[in-house]
């Protein structure tokens, strides 16, 4: 495990755990983006038919709400990595965030 600090930038290498954590959260973010695209595409197609317009509107609302999930995934991933860092370096825990 190595720790690097450059000016105000923090780079924490916690080995394979960091890679696994990062890949899981990247997958969640990509999957969320895929769902947003699907909801907006289907909602757009539904808007072409008057009888499906209300369903299309709900799909747009669902897709828009999912835009809130992306930054939430990022914040959770940062907290997760910070918790691992704090567990490894309890004396430096004030510097981790």
Q: Is residue 8 part of a domain?
A: yes
Listed as ranges, residues in the chain with pLDDT below 50 are 1-5
| Number of domains within the chain | 1
Distances in whole angstroms, Cα of residue 96 to Cα of each of 4, 51, 54, 78:
12, 54, 47, 10
- At 92 the pLDDT is 59
Q: Is residue 54 part of a domain?
A: yes
- At 94 the pLDDT is 56
- pTM to 2 decimal places: 0.68
Q: Is residue 40 part of a domain?
A: yes
81: tokens are 């990595």
- At 73 the pLDDT is 93
Q: Is residue 55 part of a domain?
A: yes
- At 20 the pLDDT is 80
Q: Is residue 96 part of a domain?
A: no
**Residue 26 sits in which domain range?**
2-89
- At 82 the pLDDT is 83
- At 3 the pLDDT is 47
- At 13 the pLDDT is 57
Q: Is residue 61 part of a domain?
A: yes
Distances in whole angstroms, Cα of residue 22 to Cα of each of 13, 53, 66, 92:
12, 39, 20, 22
Q: 4 pairs with which residues across the strands?
A: 11
Cβ neighbours for 76, distance < 8 A, ≥ 6 positions apart: 25
């Amino acid at each position: 495990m190595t720790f690097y600090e450059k000016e105000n930038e923090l780079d924490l290498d916690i080995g394979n755990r960091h890679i696994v954590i990062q890949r899981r959260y990247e997958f969640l973010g990509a999957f969320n983006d895929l769902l947003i695209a699907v909801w907006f595409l289907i909602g757009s197609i539904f808007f072409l038919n008057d009888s499906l317009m209300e369903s299309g509107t709900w799909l747009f609302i669902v897709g828009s709400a999912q835009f809130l999930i992306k930054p939430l995934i990022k914040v959770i991933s940062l907290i997760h990595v910070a918790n691992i860092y704090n567990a490894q370096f309890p004396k430096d825990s004030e510097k981790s965030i």
